């Protein structure tokens, strides 16, 4: 296998600059996935980071679109026909603007899930969720990022067709990946300083379990790549839940690049809403 550059992103929509958007970079080869860099880049710096390297695939932990119910409501509010493509929807969203979109989401009042958010035990929440964590602003900014990525370099699945030599962009959800491996999927997020020793310990356990998947559970997960990182990288990941989510996003994307048979093909569902709502690419035993 020729070496492939894989990215994973824990995306943030927070207004502080730079916000807690983290980028993990890895080299995928016959030896597995080696995490070579994990850093906080902020959402405003993410596009430049992704475009200055020739990546094979990037997985982003953020909704790529909105529930069909809300999109129908948004189209009616604009007195226009229903959206036929992601690009149409994105252009209409930017015409409304972020403040207008947030107001429209409040008027809508409900927080329905997308088809992919409800898929067979997924732990995902609605892109319109306004509680903690708030997803509305993050979803808007992620859609904006996707629309700004150079089309000659990137193609976003499942909205766009694969392009030769291009970089695939997929939506991932680290918690679902941890669930697939039957690892702890909660208890590793930093909330209060007094809880930090406990959550740091949980992060350490999760990272070690992921690094040892091939050695300890290779018969069960024979098609997934082995993941490795040096001690300095490991320390960074253990000290930040955002760094850990970026690494899990990177690992999920490497799995997608190496073993697509572990992932449901959204086009196999015969559900047209997926073409507007997007799809979380998560490993599954349901294929």
Tokens of 183: 């690892």
Check if the beta carbon of residue 32 is closer than 8 Å to that of residue 83.
Answer: no
> Which DSSP symbol is given to 226?
P
How many Å separate Cα 282 from the centre of its chain? 10
Write down the pLDDT at residue 229: 97
Buried b (16+ CB within 10 A) or exposed e, 101-114: bbebbeebeebebb
How many Å separate Cα 237 from the centre of its chain? 17
Check if the beta carbon of residue 67 is closer than 8 Å to that of residue 126.
Answer: yes
pLDDT digits (tens, 9 = 90+) for 244-284: 999 999 999 999 999 999 999 999 988 889 999 999 999 99
Beta bridge partners of 154: 167
pLDDT digits (tens, 9 = 90+) for 92-122: 999 999 999 999 999 999 999 999 999 987 8
Write down the pLDDT at residue 9: 98
Tokens of 117: 């958010």
The residue with tokens 């892109």 is 127
Write down the pLDDT at residue 287: 59
Rg of the Cα atoms in the chain: 18
pLDDT digits (tens, 9 = 90+) for 132-186: 778 999 999 999 999 999 999 999 999 999 999 999 999 999 999 999 999 999 9
Rounded mean pLDDT, 231-239: 94
Tokens of 131: 């509680």
For the chain, the farthest-separated pair of C-alpha atoms sits apart, in whole angstroms, at: 58
Rounded mean pLDDT, 199-225: 94
Alpha helices of the chain — where are they, by DSSP H? 43-51, 68-77, 86-96, 98-108, 136-148, 174-180, 196-211, 213-217, 231-238, 241-258, 274-277
Rounded distance between C-alpha atoms, residue 197 and residue 209, angstroms: 19
């Amino acid at each position: 296998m020729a070496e492939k550059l894989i990215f994973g992103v824990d995306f943030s929509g927070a207004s502080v600059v730079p916000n807690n958007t983290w980028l993990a970079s890895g080299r995928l080869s016959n030896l597995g996935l080696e995490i070579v860099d994990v850093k906080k880049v902020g959402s405003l710096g993410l596009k430049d980071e992704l475009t200055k390297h020739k990546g094979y695939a990037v997985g982003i932990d953020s909704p790529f679109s909105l529930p069909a119910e809300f999109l129908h409501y948004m189209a009616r509010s604009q007195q226009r026909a229903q959206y036929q493509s992601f690009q149409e929807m994105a252009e209409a969203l930017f015409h409304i603007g972020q403040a207008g979109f947030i107001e429209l989401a409040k008027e809508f009042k409900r927080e329905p899930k997308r088809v992919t958010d409800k898929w067979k035990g997924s732990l995902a929440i609605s892109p319109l969720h306004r509680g903690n964590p708030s997803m509305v602003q993050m979803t808007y900014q992620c859609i904006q990022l996707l629309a700004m990525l150079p089309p000659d370099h990137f193609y976003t699945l499942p909205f766009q067709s694969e392009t030769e030599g291009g970089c695939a962009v997929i939506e991932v959800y680290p918690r679902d990946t941890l669930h697939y491996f039957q690892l702890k999927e909660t208890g590793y997020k930093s909330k209060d300083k007094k809880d930090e020793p406990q959550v740091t310990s949980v992060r350490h356990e999760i990272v070690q379990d992921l690094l040892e998947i091939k050695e300890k559970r290779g018969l069960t997960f024979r098609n997934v790549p082995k993941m490795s990182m040096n001690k300095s990288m490991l320390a960074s990941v253990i000290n930040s839940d955002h760094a850990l989510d970026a690494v899990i996003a990177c690992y999920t994307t490497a799995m997608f690049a190496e073993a697509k048979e572990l992932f449901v093909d959204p086009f196999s569902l015969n559900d047209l809403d997926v073409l507007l709502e997007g799809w979380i690419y998560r490993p599954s035993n349901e294929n």
